[in-house]
């Protein structure tokens, strides 16, 4: 059996990092972990070919070769999927589609023959058997949450790792919190399920043996959803690092309450974690209560950032505007919080009602839901009728994004971060691609693009005051170029 696995093109979004890939001579930020994991569930004697359309071109020869095509997609791929499916249909290739886009919205794709809805691992044996018989059903629906301790390792051999900035692995699925706007509990439930520490270490060891030495994104919904299991993994990671002397470092997503557990923070830093993405959402207490982001309520969020920066972590933040209880000065409050806290990578988006979330169903009951979400939260659009004036929200959002990533404001935010960050744990590896990126940044950011004076002032002041942090500072300056381009396109 010949199976072609396709990952569709990703539009220019906050997380695509499209505008910085050229600095490091890469094609994409992250590999398609879902497809690589599904590939691990297929028989070892089948022939597999994976085309990540963000990295390689999908050719007619690829389609002629295949017996079946499998497509995995996020909601943000909704626009690009139809073209891929149409090409498959021209070659009369049966398509099996899965992933978040189809789990909550498969009815929008009548031209697709077969769907695997929900977490696929426990469904795949039946899918494989039906593929062998030529009797694949129109729909397979997961009826339970799989034990991810039984999930196979990703098939790293199907991609060229040199074309990616960061590798991805997964330790857990699910989140114990229940934020109204979040689709994590829709997809993966509220009870975090984890792999065994030895299982994830084995996946990382595979990466190491294949020559990977750079950043690894642990893509969990909430890495500390089960703190006990997270700490057990971290202790094993520390031992593995000592044993192998690997230079890998890690980033992940976690809730703000990680700052309440200094032992956990210390273990993360010692294990090689350098960055953590935290959902702050809003400085408005009323809006936090509205969306039931209860873990953020009743705490000083700036102090939370300071704690995490102080132990040696770079805090990336998620922010939302457009809640019903947002005051009219919400844009200024968001700007002041982000600048004061030194959250350099601030992903600000307009509130969107994702399919099947509690927000989606509430707005539907209230008659306020207007369209389906695009999955791109850095678009200046709303898919529901807001409480604040729509034009006020959209205009304020555009101005906020552009102000946040205006060179002087952005570089000041990096300075604030560097002032409070206390680097510890294993040092970041400086690769040849990093040196190339530094040189390119000096030309593009220091000569070619607007903001060059602020760039040189920033570089010189960092070299003089914080020379050890200079590589990290230049990395953040380069990333800011991408965000600035995204903000300009709004």
CATH number at residue 265: 3.20.20.70
What's residue 14's pLDDT? 83
Contact yes or no for 342/280 (Cβ under 8 A)? no
Same domain for 109 and 202:
no
Residues 93 and 69 sit within 8 Å (Cβ to Cβ): yes
Tokens of 369: 């839901």
Packed helices 227-244 and 262-271: angle between N→C axes, nearest 10 degrees: 30
User: What pLDDT, on the 0 to 100 scale, is given for residue 428?
Assistant: 67
99 and 77 together in one domain: yes
142 and 127 Cβ atoms separated by less than 8 Å: no
pLDDT of residue 357: 96
pLDDT under 50 in the chain at which residues? none
| pLDDT, position 432 | 66
Give the number of domains in the chain: 3
Q: Is the separation of the CB atoms in 102 and 73 below 8 Å?
A: yes
pLDDT of residue 430: 66
Residue ending a domain, choose from 88, 109, 141:
141
Domain with 445, as residue range(s), is 432-489
User: Do residues 158 and 136 both lie within one domain?
Assistant: no
260-291 pLDDT, tens digit each: 999 999 999 999 999 999 999 999 999 999 99
Q: Give the span between the Cα atoms of 344 and 482, in whole angstroms.
A: 13
Give pLDDT tens digits for 351-402.
999 999 999 999 999 999 999 988 776 778 899 999 999 999 999 999 999 9
Helix (H) or strand (E) holding 255: none
Joined together, the tokens standing for residue 335 give: 């700007």
Q: Residue 104 belongs to what H/E stretch?
A: none
Q: Do both 361 and 320 map to the same domain?
A: yes
Residues 22 and 119 in one domain: yes
User: In 10 A of CB 310, how many CB atoms?
Assistant: 15
Distance CA 373, CA 159 (A): 30
pTM equals: 0.95
Q: Which of 345, 260, 342 is nearest to 306 (CA)?
A: 342
Q: Which of 184, 268, 187, 198 is nearest to 227 (CA)?
A: 268
Tell me, yes or no, whether 137 and 158 share the same domain: no
Q: Are 138 and 132 in contact (CB under 8 A)?
A: no
């Amino acid at each position: 059996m010949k199976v072609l696995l396709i990952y569709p093109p990703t539009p220019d979004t906050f997380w695509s990092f499209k505008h910085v890939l050229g600095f490091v001579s890469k094609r994409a930020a992250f590999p398609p972990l879902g497809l690589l994991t599904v590939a691990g569930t297929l028989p070892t004697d089948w022939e597999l070919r994976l085309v990540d359309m963000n990295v390689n071109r999908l050719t007619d020869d690829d389609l002629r070769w295949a017996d079946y095509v499998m497509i995995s997609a996020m909601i943000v791929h909704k626009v690009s999927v139809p073209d891929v499916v149409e090409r498959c249909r021209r070659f009369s290739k049966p398509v099996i589609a899965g992933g978040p886009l189809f789990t909550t919205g498969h009815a929008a794709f009548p031209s697709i023959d077969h769907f695997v809805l929900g977490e696929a691992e426990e469904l795949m044996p039946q899918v494989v058997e039906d593929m062998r018989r030529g009797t694949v059903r129109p729909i397979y629906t997961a009826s339970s949450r799989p034990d991810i301790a039984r999930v196979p390792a990703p098939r790293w051999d199907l991609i060229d790792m040199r074309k990616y900035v960061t590798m991805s692995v997964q330790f857990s699925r699910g989140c114990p919190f229940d934020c109204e706007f979040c689709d994590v509990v829709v997809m993966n439930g509220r009870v975090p399920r984890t792999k065994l520490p030895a299982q994830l270490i084995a996946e990382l060891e595979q990466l190491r043996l294949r020559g990977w030495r750079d950043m690894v994104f642990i893509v969990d919904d909430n890495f500390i959803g089960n703190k006990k299991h997270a700490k057990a993994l971290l202790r094993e990671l520390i031992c593995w690092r000592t044993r192998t002397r690997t230079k890998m470092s890690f980033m992940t997503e976690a809730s703000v309450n990680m700052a309440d557990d200094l032992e956990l923070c210390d273990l993360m830093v010692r294990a090689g974690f350098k960055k953590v993405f935290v959902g702050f959402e809003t400085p408005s207490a009323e809006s936090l209560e509205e969306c039931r982001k209860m873990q953020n309520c009743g705490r000083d969020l700036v102090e939370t950032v300071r704690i995490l920066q102080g132990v040696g972590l770079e805090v990336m933040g998620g922010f939302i505007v457009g809640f019903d209880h947002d005051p009219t000065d919400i844009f200024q409050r968001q700007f002041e919080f982000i600048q004061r806290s030194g959250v350099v990578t601030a992903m600000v988006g307009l509130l969107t009602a994702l399919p099947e979330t509690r927000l989606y169903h509430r707005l539907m009951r209230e008659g306020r839901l207007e369209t389906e979400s695009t999955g791109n939260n850095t678009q200046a659009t709303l898919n529901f009728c807001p409480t604040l004036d729509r034009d006020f929200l959209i205009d304020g959002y555009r101005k906020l994004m552009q102000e946040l990533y205006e060179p002087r404001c952005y570089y000041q935010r990096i300075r604030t971060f560097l002032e409070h960050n206390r680097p510890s744990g294993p040092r970041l590896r400086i690769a040849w691609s990093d040196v190339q990126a530094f040189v390119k940044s000096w030309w593009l950011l220091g000569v070619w693009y607007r903001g060059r004076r602020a760039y040189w002032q920033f570089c010189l002041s960092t070299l003089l005051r914080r020379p050890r942090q200079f590589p990290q500072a230049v990395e953040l300056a380069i990333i800011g170029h991408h965000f600035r381009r995204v903000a300009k396109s709004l």
